[in-house]
């Protein structure tokens, strides 16, 4: 047993000595590496289908898209006028639940635009709430700049994208 131990000791030393000698005889960089490249699995996302409203109400509400200024979520008087018909439609059909989605134009960062779209949608919801439409009937979400309606990079395209839609 002791013999084996000593043999091991000798073997342990020799590569060590070799490396030291190798290193000490030059200022050269000596390295060894193994390539690691892990595998990757692909996942497919299953998209949920949104429930749809009856067609009439949908038509009224679809026209209730309101628009905003750059970096703003304030409702203009024109927007308020547009929303009046939506309020009426909601009051007439008290069972209807709607989703308001907020959007932004493509300029600026995506996350900030996501938050901006959210504020825009919330402005609409708050207006509806003030006018008697319970918040529990309104779902609010944002698509930021991910659902651009107008693709150009001029101001007229940008202004079409800064919106809140009712679905």
Partner 1 sequence: MQIKSDYLIASFISFLIHALIILYLMDFFYSEKKVRPILSNPINVNLLYKEDNKAISKIEIIEEKPSINSINTIENIISFSPKIESTNISKLIREDQLIKSSSEDHQVNQFSNMMIQLIQSAWIKPQNIQDGLVCNLRMVINKNGRIVAVDLIKSSGNIRFDNSAIKAISRVETFSFFNEIPFNLYQKNFKNIVITFNPL
Partner 2 sequence: MKIFFSLLFFTQLIFSELVLEITQGSEDPYSIALIEFSGSKKITNEINSIINTDLLRTGEFKIFRESQLLSIPTNEEDIKFEDFKLLGIDFIITGSLTNEDKFNISASYQVFNVQKEKKIRTSKIFGIPNKLRQLAHYISDGIYEEITGLKGVASTKLLYVTENINDDKIIFNLVVADSDGSNEQILLKSSEPIISPSWSPDSKKVAYVSFETGMAKVFIQTIATGKREMVLENSSQISSPSWSPNGKFLSLTLYQDGNAEIYILNLKNQNLTRLTNHYAIDTESSWSPNGSKIMFTSGRSGSPQLYEINLRKFSSKPKRITFEGNYNAKGSYLSSGEGIVFVHRSENNFQIALKYTNESFIRPLTNSKLDESPSISPNGNVIIYAITENGMSMLSGVTLSGAKFRLPARTGEVREPSWSGFLR
Binding site for partner 1 (CB under 8 A): 2-3, 6, 9-10, 13, 16-17, 20-21, 23-27
Contact between residue 124 and residue 29 where contact means Cβ atoms under 8 Å apart? no
Distance CA 155, CA 91 (A): 36
From candidates 37, 55, 132, 136, binder to partner 2 by CB under 8 A: 37
Among 18, 19, 16, 41, CA closest to 30: 19
Contact between residue 35 and residue 152 where contact means Cβ atoms under 8 Å apart? no
Contact between residue 162 and residue 69 where contact means Cβ atoms under 8 Å apart? yes
**Per-residue contact track with partner 2, 50 to 89, x per CB under 8 A?**
x--------------------x------------------
Q: Check residue 21 for interaction with partner 2 (CB under 8 A).
A: no
Determine the distance from the C-alpha atom of residue 38 to the mean position of all C-alpha atoms in its chain, rounded to a whole number. 27
Q: Which does 6 bind (CB under 5 to 8 A by kind): partner 1, partner 2, none?
A: partner 1
Residues in the chain: 167
Q: Check residue 31 for interaction with partner 2 (CB under 8 A).
A: yes
Residues contributing to the site for partner 2 (CB under 8 A):
26-48, 50, 71, 106-112, 114-116, 118-119, 122, 141-144, 146-147, 151-153
């Amino acid at each position: 047993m002791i013999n084996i131990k000593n043999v091991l000791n000798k073997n342990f030393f020799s590569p060590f000595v070799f490396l030291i000698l190798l290193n000490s005889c030059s200022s050269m960089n000596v390295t060894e590496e193994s390539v690691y490249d892990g595998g990757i699995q692909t996942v497919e996302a299953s998209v949920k289908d949104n429930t749809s409203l009856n067609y009439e109400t949908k038509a009224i509400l679809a026209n209730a898209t309101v628009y905003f200024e750059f970096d703003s979520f304030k409702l203009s008087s024109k927007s308020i006028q547009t929303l009046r018909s939506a309020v009426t439609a909601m009051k007439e059909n008290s069972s209807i639940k709607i989703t308001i989605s907020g959007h932004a134009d493509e300029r600026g960062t995506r996350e900030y635009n996501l938050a901006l779209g959210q504020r825009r949608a919330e402005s609409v919801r708050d207006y509806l709430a003030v006018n008697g439409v319970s918040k529990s009937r309104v779902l609010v979400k944002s698509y930021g700049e991910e659902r651009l309606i107008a693709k150009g990079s001029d101001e007229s395209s940008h202004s079409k994208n800064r919106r809140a839609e009712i679905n």
